[in-house]
Each structure stands twice: as structure tokens, then as C-alpha cells.
Chains A and B, each alone.
Chain A
Amino acid sequence: MTHYMLILRSDPSGYANLSPQEMQDLLERFEAWGAKMAAQNRIRDGKKLTDSGGKVLTLTDGRLQVKDGPFGETKEIVGGVYFITADSYDHAVELCRDQPNLRLKGASIEIRAVDWMGQEPPAE
């Protein structure tokens, strides 16, 4: 059992013309996915990230550079993240196959395993 971070990206402009019913339908799909994951006790955490106000820090010649971002170059932004448990990358992919975020414009889900550096993950 490994922990994975799901990074959900989409293009917010794709939401603009959804009707209230379409929004509710989409939300219910998210709920159904969440329920499936919860039933298998696979969700550790989920967090929505703000759409604006992000900062990117770099150190250039010893000076801290603070940039607004990571917005600008790309239309997709990270809507939120989940932490889940799965047996393998293949398994994690399988669990996310019906993740409703994928239905959105410009959407992607990035799956990254937490590297425990050979240690056992903490007990639940």
C-alpha cells in the first residue's frame, strides 16, 4: 500500500457556461467517486486550492524572487489535490479512471507516489 497525491488540473473557463443543473450533475459525479473511494477507505485528504494569489519563489544570485503564479503561461490551473492509498500506479490509475475532473475542459490528473525512502508508510 502506497500513498499517492492526485493533482487535479482544469481550465476554469470551461466552467463558465455550465447551467445550474449541469453543475449539480457534475458535483454528484464527484460525490459518487468520493463515495466509492471512501467505501474502500482510500481517501486520506482532499483540499481545494485558491484560484488566484499563488506565489512562486526562486533564489537568484542570493536574492529571493517572488512571482505571482503559477498562472499565466498555461490555462490549466490546479483546482485541488487528493491524497489516496493504492497498491500501485496501475491501481491508482484504475481508481481514477472515473474521476469526474477528467470531464472538464483542459483537464488532467497527475498521480505521484509518495516516496517513503524504503520505510513503511505510517500506520493509519
Chain B
Amino acid sequence: MDVVMPSLHPEAPARRAPVAGVQPLVDDLFRRQYGRMVAGLTRVFGADLLDLVEDVVQEALLRALRTWPYEGIPREPEGWLVQVARNLALDALRRRAMVERKRAELEQWAAAARAVRDDFAPEIADDTLAMMFLCCEPCLSVEARVALTLKTLCGFGVAEIARALLAKEGTVAQRLTRAKARLQRLGAPFSVPPVAQLADRLDSVLEVLYLLFNEGYAAAQGEDLVRAELVREAVRLVGLLIAMPVTALPKVHALRALMAFQAARLPARTGPDGEPATLVEQDRGRWDRAELAAAWFHFDRSMAGGEVTAYHLEAAIASCHAAAPTYAATDWPRILRHYDALLRLADSPVVRLNRAVAVAKVHGPRAGLAELHGLDRKLPAYWLLPATRAQLQWAAGDRAAALVAFDAALACPCSAPQRQFLVRRRAACAAGDPPPDY
């Protein structure tokens, strides 16, 4: 008979009395524990059974949801969840006649994981790293890697991933299914790559974290909180890479520095009346000092070794802004040199657009405008391109052309605060105000 029901009441959990003296759950406990348990159990079951592992973990969380309201939250919620997941996993092993082979490994995981409350715990950090490399298997498209990372490592649901990435739910679900099937066909291993392959494989991981961060950072204030959550996830995962000696390479520090330089500005991105504030308008006193300190620390660490990556250059550009006490004091020639290097290393329309602003700052708005030529085809309906053009034309004294460009920007999809910003700027331009700094 194979109907051993896993116990709803794990062995000896110290449980507090029903609903007496509520102790709130740690924020993100379920998401975090989902990621940790999926990673640990994937080690036991193997990467080809990722679906099964996810089902087991989901069911363990569900049992908590359906039990704790009546029995109270256990004193050690993580341990409770691990124990239930262990019981469910044991059942799954039995059904697949894998018990003899895998039981010891399962018990070993459960014993170690029961006590774990943070991702840096040595008992599970290896599993989390292995999971990162599995989700970021280079054979997968970057979209698939991002979705898989959010699902398995960050514990996002399909609908949440769709909202975070502004994608359709069905698309995300399909992406996940295909990615898992691909990993299965490939027989992808669940391990941290050997040192010889590590640097290359890491690029695939860093690309995902960079994208997660940017997606989250691009989310305007007041937009869906799930999008802002991406920033925290990217920072957390890159922090994990840095905490592990094998993966703490200079380029990882560079990406961490870049994230920290950007994140430091988050508190200043909204003005007193909730309006978005550009870099020019930001009150630099509101930049996050601790985050800036972290940025400089990692920036310093990124200099070890001779490799210069795009992350290094982007961090260097961000560092120029961080180093300037006022916007007027910004070292634009230095920024332009970094952009030139970035263009040689990783040419892209967005880099060219950003570089055009630096060119305008150093050589004047007309020189900047010249740099925008040919970008429209590559960045169709990207509001920042016409908005930048409008700004430069205004600065160059061509208000009529600026107004046309503002209208083009307003015709592009953008968030409500961004639209508000454009409307405000356009009105000032139409009224004959002197051009603001850009």
C-alpha cells in the first residue's frame, strides 16, 4: 500500500497556542522558503524532476495555509515547512521507487534545512547557487532564464512574473514549460560549474540579474509593487554570488556596484509632491548614504584583475554621478570617455541614446542631436528617444522642433508619471520658458 499520508503535524514542532500573542511572519517568508526548498529538493531529486519538486514545495506551503489558521503559526515556521516538504517528498520518492536511492540524501537535506533561516547559510547556499546556474543555463533565451529564476529562486507566481515583466500570463506560463522541457532534454546538471567554465557561465547569470534590476528600476514610483520587488531580488541574488568565494569575481562586484549606485538614488527619484525627479532635479542629500558606501566598496573590488566588462563601465558612469556634489559639477568628459568604451564593448541603441546626452554636455546640444540620427528605426516607440531629442532641440534654441518631438514622445507608451513629466516640460517649452538643464 502506498497511501502513507504525510503527517500534517510534523514531529515535535513547538507550536504556540492558537492565535494567542500573534508573532507576525517574516516578510517574504513563503517566497524565500519556496526558493530554498525547491533548490534543496532539486539537489535530491535531480534537475529533470523540477516540476515534481515544485509541486511538493507548493503543497507544503498550502498545508501551512490550511493548518496554521486553526493551529496557530508554529514557533519555527521554516522548520515546520521543511518537515512537511520532507514527508511529501518521501511519498513522491515511494511512488517513483526512488526511496532506497534517495532517502539518505532527503533526510540529510531535511536535517540541515530545518534550521536554516537565511540564504547565506552554508547548508543551502550551494544548492541556491546550483539553482541559479540551472535557471540561467546558456541554452535558454534570456526571457526564459528570467522567468525561471523568478519562479524557482524568487518564489514568484506566474501571474506575478507576468505583472513584473509586463508580459502576458499565458506567455510566461508557456515560457516556463518550454524552459523546463529544454533543461530536461539537455540533461542539465544541478551543480555549480567547474572553475574552468565558471566565468563564462556566470555571464549568463549576470545578464539575468542585470535585466531583473533594470526592469525593477524602470518601474516608476506608485507602479505595481511587484516590479519594484525585482530590484530587491536582483540585489539579493548578486549578493549571494558575492558571498560565495567561487563566484565573487570582479565583474560580479562591478554589477553589484552598478546596482548600488543606482539604488542609492531611489529615495530621491520622487519630488516632494510625488512627481518623478530627474537626475538634474534630484536633491542629492536624499541619496542613500549606506547604499553609496556599498557601491564604492564593490566598485573598488571590481578593479581587481584586468577584465573590463560592460558592468564595469556602467558602474564607472554611475560613479561619476555619485562623485559629483551637484549636477553642475558632473565630470561629463570622463562620462563620455566611459560611454565611448562602452560603445566599443557593447554597442546598443540605448547606449547610443545615453551617450548622445554626454556628447551634448561636452560638445553642445547640436552635436548631441547628430548622435541621435538613425536611432528611431532601432528604438521605435521608445519615449526617451523623442523626449531626449525634444530636450536637446529646446536647448539648441529650436522650440518648434522641440514641440514636435515632445508630441512624438507623448505618442509613445509610457507610465502615468512619465507622461505627466512630458506634459509639464512641453507646456514650459510652448510658453517660451528657458530650456531646463538636461
Cβ-defined contact, B65 with A26, below 8 A: yes
Bound Cα distance from A37 to B68, whole angstroms: 15
Give the nearest-CB partner of B26 in chain A: A24
- Please encode chain A, from 24 to 55, with 1 for each CB lying within 8 Å of some chain B CB and 0 for all others: 10111011101101100001011110111100
Residues of B with C-beta under 8 A to A45: 18
Q: How large is the interface on B (under 10, 10 to 19, 20 to 34, 35 or more residues)?
A: 20 to 34
A18–B65 touching, CB < 8 Å: yes
CB neighbours of A100 from chain B (8 A) = 69
When the two chains form the complex, which single residue of B18, B19, B68, B155 contacts A19, counting CB atoms closer than 8 Å? B155
Tell whether A21 is near chain B: CB-to-CB under 8 Å. yes
Task: Say whether A22 faces chain B, with CB atoms less than 8 Å apart.
Answer: yes
* Bound CA–CA A34/B73 (angstroms): 11
Min CB distance, A87 to chain B, in Å?
Answer: 20
The total of interchain contacts (Cβ-Cβ below 8 angstroms) comes to 102
Enumerate B147-194 residues with CB–CB distance to A below 8 Å. Answer: 155-160
Find out whether the CB atom of B66 lies under 8 angstroms from the CB atom of A15. yes
A52 to B8, CA, bound (A): 12
Q: List residues of chain A with CB within 8 A of the CB of B21.
A: 38
Q: A19 near B22 (CB under 8 angstroms)?
A: no
The CA of A37 and the CA of B8, in the complex, are separated in Å by 25
Chain A residue at minimal CB-CB distance from B29: A24
Given contacts A27-B65, A31-B73, contact A21 B160 (CB under 8 A): yes
Q: A38-B19, A46-B19 are known contacts. Are A23 and B65 too (CB-CB below 8 A)?
A: yes
Interface residue range, chain A: 35 or more
Which chain A residues (77-96) contact chain B, with CB distance < 8 Å?
Answer: 79-82
On whether A38 and B20 interact (CB within 8 A), knowing A17-B157, A28-B25, A47-B70, the answer reads: yes
Contact across chains for B22 and A35 when beta carbons are under 8 A apart: yes
Cα separation A19 to B31 with both chains bound (whole Å): 8
Residue B141 is within 8 A (CB to CB) of chain A in the complex: no
The answer to whether A23 touches B19, judged by C-beta atoms less than 8 angstroms apart, is no
Beyond A24-B31, A46-B70, A46-B71, whether A35 also contacts B62 by CB under 8 A is no
Task: Determine the residue in chain A with the shortest Cβ distance to B69.
Answer: A30
Q: Does A19 lie within 8 Å of B69, measured CB to CB?
A: no
Contact of A27 (CB < 8 Å), options: B20, B64, B158: B64
Dominant secondary structure at the A interface: helix
Q: Out of B24, B30, B61, B160, name the residue touching A31 (CB < 8 Å).
A: B24
Q: Is A20 an interface residue (CB 8 A)?
A: yes
Complex: how many Å from CA A28 to CA B28? 12
Residue on A nearest B157 in the bound complex, by CB: A19
Residues A48 and B62 in contact in the complex (CB < 8 Å), given A27-B25, A34-B22: no
Q: Is the CB of A21 within 8 A of B73?
A: no
Docked-complex contact B70 and A19, CB < 8 angstroms: no
- Distance (Å) between the CB of B333 and the closest chain A CB? 46
User: Does B210 lie at the interface of the complex (its beta carbon under 8 Å from any beta carbon of A)?
Assistant: no
For A23, the chain B residues whose CB sits under 8 A away are 30, 61-62, 64-65
Determine if B34 is an interface residue (Cβ-Cβ < 8 Å). yes
Interface residues of A (CB under 8 A from B): 12, 15, 17-24, 26-28, 30-32, 34-35, 37-38, 43, 45-48, 50-53, 79-82, 100-101
* Beyond known contacts A20-B34, A21-B31, A100-B69: 17 more, CB 8 A cutoff: A15-B66, A18-B62, A19-B155, A19-B158, A19-B160, A20-B31, A20-B33, A20-B155, A23-B65, A24-B29, A27-B30, A31-B19, A31-B73, A38-B22, A43-B19, A48-B69, A80-B69
Q: Mark B residues whose CB is within 8 Å of A.
A: 5, 8, 18-22, 24-25, 28-31, 33-34, 61-62, 64-73, 155-160
18 residue pairs from A and B, CB less than 8 Å apart: A18-B157, A20-B33, A20-B61, A20-B155, A21-B155, A23-B64, A24-B25, A27-B30, A27-B65, A30-B68, A31-B22, A31-B24, A31-B68, A38-B20, A48-B66, A48-B67, A53-B5, A79-B70
